[in-house]
Structure formats: structure tokens, C-alpha cells
Amino acid sequence: KAGVTQTPRYLIKTRGQQVTLSCSPISGHRSVSWYQQTPGQGLQFLFEYFSETQRNKGNFPGRFSGRQFSNSRSEMNVSTLELGDSALYLCASSSRDSLGTEAFFGQGTRLTVV
Amino acid sequence: AQSVTQLGSHVSVSEGALVLLRCNYSSSVPPYLFWYVQYPNQGLQLLLKYTSAATLVKGINGFEAEFKKSETSFHLTKPSAHMRDAAEYFCASSGTSYGKLTFGQGTILTVHP
């Protein structure tokens, strides 16, 4: 069974640009969550989607947005990039809609903003 | 609100020695707790999880963790460290929010020959 796939693995963008990251969950998983990982702030929750609906959102500015498609694949978008957006962005998928279900993570997309 | 504290950002042990990584949680509701491991330039891999079925949880690669409600702790242990255990370890909790994990700051484990 294939794991969570994130594309691209690495990305370099210029300040002010926008970027779209993609995540394909494990087959059959309907919940997809996104996290930002930086050395200073650690792992922070961005948002979570289930059946194309955003159920949960972290404390990030509106420049960060996401969506989920009917096949459960998800994208996140960051507009007007800032240097501080440089981070590893991780996507995770879960199989069941119940509390305490473990999340399976992709390898991440390393975004560098210059 | 959920919060997770990992005591010690760096832990160093000799190969064959006991590994103990500390995690304390703060929660107003019974938590679900997890330990993940991250190797350089990789995502997170689940080691084990606690969901109230048993207080001693066994995971992969010889790791285990014990849930102690009285101490609000969920420390990760391994009897004998191996070089391949060198990585960063994260404790995480989820409460009543679907799809959201709250992570500790992580502990980098170094294993010396």
C-alpha cells in the first residue's frame, strides 16, 4: 500500500510569489492534515480536511489556504510568500473519522523563500 | 487546550544503554498520545500510540511508553540503544479536535559507539 505522497519534495520561491503544494493520502484515507515545521516554532498545525470540508484550522494568516478534492487529494496554497514561510511542510492522512486515530505522514515539501 | 512538553531538547546515550525520552502533557480531557520519530529530511514515522486500552504501550523498533495519569507523563523508553535510533523524537497529543495533533518541541537523540 502506497504511503502519503507529497509533491514537490523541494521548492525555491521568491518573496511575494505564491506556491501550491500537493498531497496524495493513503488510499481510503479521507482526512488530510497539514503542518509547518521550522527550527524555531517546531511542528505547527495548519488545517485539516475531511470529505472536502475544512474541519479545523490553526493560527496562521489567511495567506495560507487549502482544499481537498473528491478523491481526498489535498493542496495547500501560500500567497504573497515571506522569508519566514521557509519551512518543511508536512501532510498527514488518517483512515477513520474518530478521535485518537493515528496520522501517517508524507516526506514533506521543503520550501525555501529567497 | 492541549499542550505537550518534552524535557530535554538533546539526549545522548552510548550504544547499548537505556534510552529515556520524557514527555508530559496537559489536557482537560483524557488525551490520545503518540510518539513519532523523524530521520533527517524525512517525514514523521509513528512509533506507538496510547488510546486508553493499556497504560504500557509497545511500539516498533523495541520502543515502549508508559502512560501515568498521576504524573501526566508518557515517557518513551528502549532498553538498549542502537546507532540506528539516532533521530529526532516527537511526543504528540490529540484531544477532541479531529485531525489535529499538538506536538512537543522534539528531542534529538544521539547514540555514541
| Contacting residues of A for B94, CB less than 8 Å apart | 99-100
Q: List the Cα angle A44/B19/A45 in 5-degree steps.
A: 5
Q: What is the mean pLDDT of residues B59-70?
A: 94
Enclosing H/E stretch for B62 = none
pLDDT digits (tens, 9 = 90+) for B38-58: 998 889 999 999 987 788 999
Chain A interface includes B100 (CB < 8 A): yes
Q: What is the pLDDT of residue B89?
A: 98
3-state secondary structure A16-63: CCCEEEEEECCCCCCEEEEEEEECCCEEEEEEEEECCEEEEECCCCCC
Strand partners, B112: B14
Q: What is the mean pLDDT of residues B63-81?
A: 95
B43·A105 Cβ contact <8 A: yes
Nearest CA in chain B to A5: B43
Q: What is the pLDDT of residue B28?
A: 65
* pLDDT in 10s for each residue of chain A, 114 residues: 689 999 999 999 999 999 999 999 999 999 999 999 999 999 999 999 999 999 989 999 999 999 999 999 999 999 999 999 999 999 999 986 677 788 999 999 999 999
In chain A, DSSP finds a helix count (H) and a strand count (E) of: 0, 11
Q: What is the pLDDT of residue B29?
A: 66
pLDDT band at B98 (very low <50, low <70, confident <90, very high): confident
In Å, how far are A99, B107, B111 from B16, measured between CA atoms? 37, 19, 9
- Round to whole Å and give the CA distance between B50 and A2: 25
